[in-house]
Structure 1
Amino acid sequence: MPDHCPVCGQSYEPEPGFYYGAMYISFGFAVATFAVCGVLLYYLAGDPALWVYVTTVAAVTLLTAPLVYRYSRALMLYLFGGVHYDPRWQHGRAATPLSARG
């Protein structure tokens, strides 16, 4: 992973250990995954055996792990890193990089 965004220059790690908090966000995503899979299996599959729950939740968790980690880091940056979305970057009209703004 690069140290800075190649487009806007935003530092991906504002301070050492910044992303330890992202573990809690990814834990929330994991709990939501377990709950959604459990409820869907209960109602759509008619309360199958325990091994079906475990296998399905494990498979969904493994398949969505890259997205969960990426989005938990992004949410950590947006919520606690002082990063703000600037739609002008999409069109190349912003004058200064986001990391230079206060």
Structure 2
Amino acid sequence: MPDNCPICGQAYEPEPGFYWGAMFVSYGFSVAIFAISGVLCYYLLGDPAVWVYVLTVAVASFALMPLVFRYSRAIMLYLFGGVSYKPDAPRKSPLEQPSAS
């Protein structure tokens, strides 16, 4: 993940350790994945053995891990980072320096 937005220069990490809170958002996503995959397994496979539930939940969790990681960080940034999307914001490079004239 880059340090700043390439378009507007917004810092993606407002303070050190900011994304530790994303672990709680990720936990919520994981609980939802566990519940949904368990219910789908029950209804689609007709109450299979316990090892089928464990395997189904594990595969679903590992398959969706990249999405959970990205979306939990994005949600954390939008909720608590003071970041909002402004489509007509001026483009600015994070490397721009004020001129010394």
Same fold (TM over 0.5): yes
Distance 2:78 2:10 in 1: 12
1:87 corresponds to which residue?
87
Contact 2:8-2:90 within 8 A present in 1 as well = no
1:87 aligns to what SS in structure 2?
coil
Structure 2: 5+ residue stretches without partners: 95-101
Residues 42-80 of structure 1 deviation map (CA, whole Å, 9 limit, x = unaligned): 111101111111111111111111110100000000000
The structure showing larger relative contact order (alpha-carbon pairs under 8 Å, at least 6 residues apart) is 2
Shift of 1:86: 1.2
- In proportion to residue count, which structure has more helix? 1
1:43-62 superposed matches below 5 A: 43-62=43-62
Structure 1: 5+ residue stretches without partners: 89-93
TM (norm. structure 1) is: 0.84
**Greater CA deviation, 27-36 or 78-87?**
78-87
Identity across aligned pairs (percent)? 67
Aligned length in residues: 93
Q: CA RMSD in A?
A: 1.5
**2:23 is equivalent to residue 23 of structure 1:** yes
Distance 2:9 2:57 in 1: 38
